[in-house]
Amino acid sequence: MARTTPEINASSMADIAFLLLVFFLVTTEIDIDEGINVALPPWSDVPPPPVELNDKNTLTVLINSRNQLLVEEELDDIDNLRKRTVEFLSNNGRNPELSTNPQEAVVSFKGDVGTSYETYIQVYNELRGAYNDLRNDLTRKKTNGRVSKFSDLDRATRDSILIEEIKFEMPIRLSEAEPTKLGK
């Protein structure tokens, strides 16, 4: 009679595997973070030249320690900021008080040490949003509506010349000054 090996009871294998599974489920982070990208200027010991506040090619945005917004020396609301920035950037010399063209227009932005991060991000988000909206408009125009977002352009067309062209026509010139120290 042939000797048969006794069968190993595998019913507890499921339990062991479940245990491991639960461990990995708990320790897992699958979600990809999303963030607003910023390029910092290189450090230099020489202080940067002061921004000319009354220049028509500069849009000054200030936030104080009580999270109030001052745009071109008048109090304003965050909800209006994107519209105003778009108007300022895409003016192209029509209104003599706003920018002559997007290449020369600068958005100068300054907070205070007491400004809350939430307000800071909201304001930054609106300013970036204005640039992104204008770049999206350009993308739509140049692709005849095929691509509606600048960020999808690379994946959709692989046309690096077109991307550079849009970046040249609508450069992001968002300068951020050191916060004032009034709030502390």
Partner 1 sequence: MLGHFKRKKKGTPAISTASLPDIVFILLFFFMVATRMRETEIKVKSNLPKATEMEKLEKKDLLSYIYIGAPAESYQKEFGSAPRLQLNDRLATPDEVIDFVATEKAKMRPELQNAIIIAIKCDKDADLGILSDVKIELRKANALKVTYITLKDDKKNR
- Which chain residues interact with partner 1 by CB under 8 A? 10-11, 13-14, 17-18, 20-21, 24-25, 27-30, 32-43, 111-118, 120-122, 124-125, 128-129, 132-133, 151, 178-179, 181, 183-184
**Can you tell me the distance from the alpha carbon of 82 to that of 102, in angstroms, rounded to the nearest whole number?**
15
State in angstroms the smallest separation of the CB of 127 from partner 1: 9
DSSP label at 112?
Answer: B
State in angstroms the smallest separation of the CB of 73 from partner 1: 21
Q: Identify which of residues 120 and 140 has a Cβ nearer to partner 1 in the complex.
A: 120
Q: Identify which of residues 55 and 70 has a Cβ nearer to partner 1 in the complex.
A: 70
Q: Identify which of residues 12 and 144 has a Cβ nearer to partner 1 in the complex.
A: 12
Amino acid at 20: L
Q: Is the dihedral of CA 177, 122, 70, 83 positive or negative?
A: positive
Q: Identify which of residues 72 and 176 has a Cβ nearer to partner 1 in the complex.
A: 176
State in angstroms the smallest separation of the CB of 96 from partner 1: 30
DSSP label at 134?
Answer: H
Contacts of 65 (CB under 8 A, 6+ apart): 112, 113, 114, 115, 182, 183, 184
Amino acid at 160: S
Residue 45 neighbours by CB distance under 10 Å? 4
Residue 38 neighbours by CB distance under 10 Å? 9
Q: Identify which of residues 3 and 184 has a Cβ nearer to partner 1 in the complex.
A: 184
State in angstroms the smallest separation of the CB of 181 from partner 1: 8
Residue 94 neighbours by CB distance under 10 Å? 10
State in angstroms the smallest separation of the CB of 164 from partner 1: 19
Residue 101 neighbours by CB distance under 10 Å? 13
State in angstroms the smallest separation of the CB of 44 from partner 1: 9
Q: Identify which of residues 24 and 54 has a Cβ nearer to partner 1 in the complex.
A: 24
